[in-house]
Amino acid sequence: MPKENNKATAMAYLGEKVMESPQELTRRLGLDAKGAPLIRRALTHRSFANEQAGAVEDNEKLEFLGDAVLNFVTGAWLYNRFPELQEGELTRMRASLVRTEQLASFARQMELGKALRLGRGEDQAGGRDKDALLCAAFEAIIGAMYLLRDIEPVKEFINPFIEHATGNIIFSEDFRDPKSQLQEWSQGRKMGIPKYLIAEATGPDHQRKFMVEVWMDGKCYGRGEGHNKQDAEQAAAQFTLNQLKEEKGRRCNHAFKIEIP
């Protein structure tokens, strides 16, 4: 088959599968029509480029640029949003926000899969919903937007995604210890700082075991056990977070309590 027919067949196949053209996505992103060629490149997976007879550039260089922009914008947002966090905590939270699965989720929210330019085999293999491909395309789109409009419009585009995802990450990701996570939750709901009270202390001095309760807003939300007070407090906080995930705050019985200094 002549090369021209190969190319025509590939383009026809693409036309059947792509439900949103680069031009349409460019308009949806609020970009000037002149930016459509760069957006087209951001949507082009190497599997598509490899099937074309002519030279077609894939999105990998734009993905590289977008990755750097995302790390910067996300880091700046976290720095301003959580001034009380230490560097290690900010780093872990940023890693949670820019990991492959999270960026793929952002891509799904903006229905990016329907605009991807994929090769026939990759498309038939479900490439439009693969985390790795969606993540790469999202990063490439960010890279293209940066080249077309600079950093401030990119921030305006990314920040709502970050804001929405952060609340879920506070509970679902181990970027901070359980006590810090629980304090963030309680203070955000005007319930003050959680108090940790010893409910029980058993065992000999060399093998003590503590049972600690966590109290918020006048209610006991959970208990935790540990061989020292610190471990018991963390266990109580983790138990409470698990309960809150299931929307099951509960009051617990106690025989006596001593407030930990």
Cα distances (Å, whole numbers) of residue 238 to 220, 233, 247? 14, 9, 14
Both structure tokens of 256: 């006596």
Per the annotation, the verdict on 139 as an active-site residue is: yes
- Burial class, 33, CB count within 10 angstroms (exposed 0-12 / middle 13-18 / buried 19+): exposed
Of 51, 58, 63, 67, which is the active-site residue?
Answer: 67
Beta strands in the chain (DSSP E): 195-202, 209-216, 219-226, 258-259
Cα distances (Å, whole numbers) of residue 153 to 105, 108, 215? 21, 21, 44
Separation between Cα atoms, residue 234 and residue 215, nearest integer Å: 13
Of 139, 173, 213, 233, which is the active-site residue?
Answer: 139
Per the annotation, the verdict on 4 as an active-site residue is: no
Q: Which residues are catalytic?
A: 67, 139
